[in-house]
């Protein structure tokens, strides 16, 4: 028994025009790519029941809009799948292009209708029309009506484009994006360097207060050196290492407190409290993806330290520029 998907993209409707839906059957590995209507509707029929990976892609985005595992049930009515398309994903996308109307989805729908009704088009005089035949004909007429409605939306005039203005605006936008990315990366690397220097000073002061052993110094310095080596990597890699360091540092502080003469007094020292607060921020933040979220983590650690060391180190860096 064949089944069907009824997929609905909802949310940012302007993305529906260029979006594509990729269906992959887990058992066979067969992949099928279809484009939805402008309102986000997509009906895909004649599929084998089972589990499918449903992926929604858009040419303006590097990552999929949505990726999920969906089961297609063996039933006459289509399995409905609602996929949200957040508008935030398209806030900083290139200038909208207005290409010629893409009639591909309409053509695919019309071809699907023709394939559906072909199996019931050879009736002999007096032959019984079964309920399944009538249901198939009804769904085919509905699909054909939706395809015709989509066709009228595609070919109706929605204004006209100015290609020369669009090209120039796109050029300016690309220049601004490249500058913002280069500036943002430089700022992020500078902020990481300041954070690591601040962290190294806090850690060594905390070790000094506890009268730590040489191997304690070597261990912490080695871990900070590893962070310095990863300071030019992307946000996900660096913050993952930083979160692990924060967890290890909290454990180390607890060990130093136990080895000190007065654990309570040691934990109350200003430098120890600052280091522990920073380590907790790194550990709680975890692995981040966006550079903005990483910078907010450093803002919180600066606040816990009162901003004193950050201001001093930042002034030194600026003076060297």
Residue 303 or residue 289, greater confidence? 289
> Is 17 domain-assigned?
yes
> Is 30 domain-assigned?
yes
Tens digit of each residue's pLDDT (9 = 90 or more) over 79-115: 999 999 998 887 765 545 555 666 677 677 777 777 7
pLDDT for 101 equals: 63
What is the rounded CA–CA span in Å between residue 209 and residue 203?
10
Q: Are residues 12 and 42 in the same domain?
A: yes
> Is 90 domain-assigned?
no
Q: Are residues 234 and 308 in the same domain?
A: yes
Please identify, among 141, 160, 179, the residue that sits at the C-terminal boundary of a domain.
160
Tens digit of each residue's pLDDT (9 = 90 or more) over 137-188: 777 777 777 777 777 666 655 555 556 666 677 777 877 787 777 888 888 8
> Is 195 domain-assigned?
yes
pLDDT for 33 equals: 94
Domain that holds residue 106: 99-160
Cβ atoms within 10 Å, residue 110: 16
Q: Are residues 74 and 124 in the same domain?
A: no
Tens digit of each residue's pLDDT (9 = 90 or more) over 36-68: 998 899 999 989 999 999 999 998 888 899 999
pLDDT for 199 equals: 84
Q: Are residues 169 and 310 in the same domain?
A: yes
pLDDT for 311 equals: 46
Tens digit of each residue's pLDDT (9 = 90 or more) over 199-230: 888 888 888 888 888 888 898 889 889 988 88
Count how many domains the chain has.
3
Predicted confidence band of residue 310 (pLDDT cuts 50, 70, 90): very low
Name residue 41's beta-bridge partners. Answer: 8
pLDDT for 304 equals: 65
Q: What is the mean pLDDT of the chain?
A: 81
Q: Are residues 180 and 308 in the same domain?
A: yes
């Amino acid at each position: 028994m064949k089944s069907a998907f009824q997929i609905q993209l909802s949310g940012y409707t302007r993305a529906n025009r260029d979006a594509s839906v990729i269906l992959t059957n887990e058992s066979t590995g067969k992949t099928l790519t279809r484009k939805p209507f402008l309102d986000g509707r997509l009906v895909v029929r004649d599929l084998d029941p089972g589990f499918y990976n449903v992926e929604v892609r858009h040419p303006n985005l590097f990552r999929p809009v949505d990726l999920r595992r969906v089961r297609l049930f063996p039933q006459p009515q289509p399995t409905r799948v609602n996929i949200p398309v957040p508008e935030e994903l398209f806030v900083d996308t290139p200038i909208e292009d207005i290409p010629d109307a893409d009639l591909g989805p309409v053509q695919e729908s019309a071809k699907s209708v023709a394939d559906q009704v072909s199996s019931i088009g050879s009736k002999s005089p007096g032959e019984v029309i079964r309920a399944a035949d009538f249901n198939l004909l009804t769904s085919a007429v509905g699909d054909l009506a939706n395809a015709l409605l989509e066709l009228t939306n595609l070919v109706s005039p929605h204004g006209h484009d100015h290609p020369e203005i669009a090209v120039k605006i796109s050029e300016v936008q690309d220049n601004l994006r490249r500058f913002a990315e280069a500036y943002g990366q430089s700022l992020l690397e500078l902020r990481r360097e300041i954070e690591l220097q601040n962290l190294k000073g806090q850690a060594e002061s905390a070790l000094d207060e506890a009268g730590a052993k040489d191997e304690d110094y070597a261990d912490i310095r080695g871990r900070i050196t590893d962070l310095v080596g990863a300071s030019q990597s992307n946000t996900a890699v660096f913050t993952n290492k930083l979160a692990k360091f924060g967890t290890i540092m909290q454990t180390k502080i607890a060990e130093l407190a136990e080895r000190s003469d007065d654990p309570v007094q040691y934990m109350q020292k200003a430098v120890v409290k600052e280091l522990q607060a920073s380590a907790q921020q790194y550990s709680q933040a975890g692995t981040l993806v966006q550079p903005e979220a990483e910078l907010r983590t450093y803002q919180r650690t600066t606040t816990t330290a009162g901003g004193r060391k950050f201001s001093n180190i930042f002034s030194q860096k600026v003076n060297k520029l």
